[in-house]
């Protein structure tokens, strides 16, 4: 009994002692520790300026919620970049052929405490020179007028944002000119140094922010080839868009009908259009701008090889006329019976091409000169499948065909876009088949070129 009493007294004493003298104070929070997957002072071989760096953290009395990182040791650490990730890929901008960067990272625990001793390491980088090439499919034709456009791209293993300048030089590698890296299409002319009536070649290279140059590239790439630059000899350009078997007929017609007018020619049919600049905008458009008047001459439009290059015309003529150029566009229309203006042309005031087709327009047919200041033209050849133009009532009509019982109408074949100072005359027939009266043909061109276009 005495033993039980003694035990009770001890237990009661402990209870009262513990209640009367509790433990006081707050447990101290310790900062986390930060580690890089590459330990500090480990040797890292120089590499790319694109670096993937990984890290992790450990907290002895809590858990890590994020990290602050920086490439300098500026205090306070809370001003560094914050992330919850354990890795990231960084672009390290070069200032020379090689540069060493020091990376710092500090863990943050769940109480907001930051590791006061961030992990860090050195990351050496070495610059890789950029490369460049001309865009495939934009090669310069082997013969051009004095406008040349070049499209090119550059690549840098250290990141394309490091590309700083392009350099170009004509006909040698001794006189490079610097241009912005934002310029990816270069257009040159006679003022730029193109040598007229001579062979030319272009050399280019690219430089990165660290000063490294790419190898030099050449256009044409074959060092035995060049592009020949023709001199502009006239203010009129005839675009030969007719099939090859009619080139001589058309050539003879223009030589006779324009015997008092000097003109240059551009063949866009030979060799599947090998003389057409691949860069329509700007090269082809700027080529047209070398001339005051363009005569775009195509055929009847009965087969694919007869069709005018409407796509090329649509992509170039509006820009040309906006700059003040004048155009006589003469062509038949394709064997599609219903054509809206947008499907064929966007540069003349045509609502549509007639659904009615005159199967055969014979030779020695006189056109009706609705505008009597124009001469009466006469056909000199059979013209198959003629389609007329449908236009609004305010569009000036120059020529119609005689009344057709098939179409129950006098078919409109020649219009202009406005009464005075027109920019466009559209003829829905191949003009070189209108040579039945050679004097009338000559008068037609004098009227168009001098009276309408102010040549």
Q: Do residues 287 and 143 share a domain?
A: no
Q: What's the pLDDT score for residue 114?
A: 94
Residue 303 vs residue 90, higher pLDDT: 90
What pTM was computed for the model? 0.79
Q: Is residue 105 part of a domain?
A: yes
Other CB atoms within a 10 A radius of the CB of residue 192 amount to: 14
Query: What's the pLDDT score for residue 14?
Result: 46
Residue in the block written with tokens 């860090």: 120
Instruction: Flag whether 23 is in a domain.
Output: no
Residue finishing a domain among 202, 229, 256: 229
Predicted local confidence at residue 89, as pLDDT: 87
Handedness of CA 109, 112, 118, 120 (dihedral sign): positive
Q: Span 382-395, mean pLDDT?
A: 90
pLDDT band at 442 (very low <50, low <70, confident <90, very high): very high
In the predicted structure, residue 25 carries a pLDDT above the cut 60: no
Same domain, 278 and 425: yes
Residue 83 has pLDDT above 70, yes or no: yes
Question: Looking at the structure, do residues 224 and 272 belong to the same domain, yes or no?
Answer: no
Instruction: Give the separation between CA 358 and CA 411, rounded to whole angstroms.
Output: 9
Cα 220 to Cα 148: distance, rounded to the nearest angstrom: 12
Q: Select from 394, 384, 380, 390 the least CA-distant residue to 440.
A: 380
**Token pair belonging to 45:** 């071989």
Q: What does the pLDDT read at residue 143?
A: 97
In a domain, 385, yes or no: yes
- Would 26 be classed as within a structural domain? no
Choose the weakest-confidence range: 122-126, 163-167, 239-243. 122-126
Total of domains in the chain: 3
Task: Identify the band that residue 340 occupies on the pLDDT scale cut at 50, 70 and 90.
Answer: low
pLDDT at 373 over 80: yes
> In this model, does residue 339 exceed pLDDT 70?
no
Q: Span 9-16, mean pLDDT?
A: 45
Peptide bond into 76 cis (omega under 30): yes
pLDDT, position 215:
96
* Percent of the chain topping pLDDT 70: 88
Question: Residue 17 has what pLDDT?
Answer: 46
- Tell me what the mean pLDDT of segment 191-220 comes to: 95
Same domain, residue pair 111 and 141: no
Tens digit of pLDDT for each residue in 354-368?
888 888 888 889 999
In this predicted model, what pLDDT tens digit does every residue of 396-407 receive, in sequence order?
Answer: 999 999 988 888
Which pLDDT score, from 0 to 100, does residue 15 have?
Answer: 42
Are residues 87 and 63 part of one domain?
yes
Q: Quick one: pLDDT at residue 10?
A: 44
Q: Is 363 helix (H, G, I), strand (E, B) or coil?
A: coil
Do the domain assignments include residue 3? no
Looking at residues 158-166, what average pLDDT do you find?
85
Structural domain boundaries enclosing 200? 131-229
Separation between Cα atoms, residue 134 and residue 136, nearest integer Å: 6
Write the CATH number for 305. Answer: 3.40.50.880
Assess whether 305 and 158 both reside in one domain.
Answer: no
In a domain, 366, yes or no: yes
State the Cα–Cα distance between residues 265 and 286, nearest whole angstrom: 15
Mean pLDDT of the chain: 88
- Name which residue leads in pLDDT, 212 or 141: 141
Q: Determine the pLDDT at residue 138.
A: 95
Q: Could you tell me if residue 18 is inside a domain?
A: no
- Give the per-residue pLDDT at 7: 44
> Which residue in the block uniquely carries the two structure tokens 């014979």?
362
What does the chain come to in residues?
455
Tell me the mean pLDDT in the region 3-26.
Answer: 48
Tell me the pLDDT band of 2, cut-offs 50, 70 and 90. Answer: very low
- pLDDT over 80 at 113, yes or no: yes
Q: What per-residue confidence (pLDDT) applies to 225?
A: 96
Is 111 found in the same domain as 37? yes
Q: Which residue has the higher pLDDT, 317 or 123?
A: 317
Instruction: Select the more confidently predicted residue: 211 or 343.
Output: 211
Give a yes or no: residue 272 inside a domain: yes
| Same domain, residue pair 258 and 365 | yes
pLDDT-derived band at 115 (thresholds 50, 70, 90) equals: very high
Domain boundary among 229, 250, 282: 229
**What pLDDT shows up at residue 94?**
67
Asked if residue 250 and residue 346 are part of one domain, the reply reads: yes
| Mean pLDDT in residue range 146-167 | 91
- When mean pLDDT is compared across 122-126, 203-207, 273-277, 411-415, the lowest value belongs to 122-126
Examine the pLDDT at 326 and tell me if it is beyond 80: yes
- Note whether 242 and 430 are within 8 A (CB): yes
Residues 6+ apart with CB under 8 A from 369: 375, 376, 377, 398, 399
Residue where a domain terminates, one of 194, 229, 264: 229
- At 129-144, the pLDDT tens digits run 899 999 999 999 999 9
Same domain, 120 and 138: no
Residues whose CB is less than 8 angstroms from the CB of residue 154 and which lie 6 or more positions away in sequence, other chains included: 130, 131, 132, 160, 163, 166, 181, 206, 214
Contact assessment for residue 246 and residue 299, using Cβ atoms and an 8 Å cutoff: yes
Same domain, 178 and 97: no
Q: How confident is the model at residue 9 (pLDDT cuts 50, 70, 90)?
A: very low
| Mean pLDDT value of segment 131-158 | 95
Q: So what's the pLDDT on residue 45?
A: 63
Q: What is the mean pLDDT of residues 182-204?
A: 97
Q: Do 363 and 225 sit in the same domain of this protein?
A: no
Report the CATH number at residue 118: 2.60.40.10
């Amino acid at each position: 009994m005495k033993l039980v009493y003694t035990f009770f007294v001890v237990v009661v004493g402990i209870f009262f002692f513990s209640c009367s003298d509790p433990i006081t104070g707050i447990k101290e929070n310790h900062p986390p520790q930060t580690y890089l997957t590459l330990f500090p002072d480990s040797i890292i071989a120089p590499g790319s300026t694109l670096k993937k760096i990984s890290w992790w953290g450990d907290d002895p009395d809590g858990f890590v919620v994020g990290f602050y990182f920086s490439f300098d040791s500026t205090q306070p650490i809370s001003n560094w970049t914050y992330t919850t990730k354990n890795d990231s890929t960084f672009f390290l901008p070069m200032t020379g052929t090689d540069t060493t960067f020091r990376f710092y990272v500090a863990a943050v625990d769940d109480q907001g405490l930051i590791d006061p001793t961030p992990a860090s390491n050195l990351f050496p980088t070495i610059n890789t020179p950029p490369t460049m090439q001309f865009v495939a499919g934009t090669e310069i034709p082997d013969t051009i007028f004095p406008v040349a456009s070049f499209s090119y791209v550059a690549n840098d293993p250290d990141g394309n944002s490091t590309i700083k300048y392009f350099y170009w030089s004509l006909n040698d590698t001794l006189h490079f000119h610097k241009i912005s890296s934002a310029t990816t299409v270069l257009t040159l002319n006679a003022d730029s140094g193109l040598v007229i009536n001579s062979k030319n070649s272009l050399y280019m290279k690219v430089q990165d922010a660290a000063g490294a140059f790419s190898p030099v590239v050449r256009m044409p790439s074959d060092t035995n080839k060049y592009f020949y630059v023709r001199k502009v000899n006239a203010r009129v350009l005839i675009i030969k868009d007719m099939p090859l078997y009619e080139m001589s007929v058309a050539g003879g017609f223009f030589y006779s009908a324009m015997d008092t007018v000097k003109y240059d020619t551009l063949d866009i049919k030979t060799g599947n259009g090998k003389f057409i600049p691949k860069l329509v905008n700007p090269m082809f458009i700027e080529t047209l701008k070398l001339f005051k008047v363009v005569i775009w001459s195509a055929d009847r439009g009965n087969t694919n090889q007869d069709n005018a290059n409407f796509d090329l015309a649509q992509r170039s003529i509006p820009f040309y006329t906006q700059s003040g150029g004048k155009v006589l566009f003469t062509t038949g229309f394709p064997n599609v019976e219903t054509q809206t203006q947008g499907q064929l042309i966007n540069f003349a005031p045509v609502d549509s091409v007639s659904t009615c087709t005159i199967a055969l327009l014979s030779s020695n047919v006189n056109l009706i000169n609705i505008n009597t200041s124009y001469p009466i033209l006469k056909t000199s050849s059979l013209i198959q499948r003629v389609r007329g133009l449908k236009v609004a009532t305010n569009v000036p009509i120059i020529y119609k065909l005689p009344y057709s019982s098939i179409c129950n109408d006098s078919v409109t074949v020649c219009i202009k876009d406005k009464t005075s100072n027109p920019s466009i005359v559209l003829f829905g027939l191949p003009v070189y088949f209108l040579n039945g009266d050679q004097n009338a043909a000559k008068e037609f061109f004098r009227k168009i070129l001098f009276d309408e276009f102010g040549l």
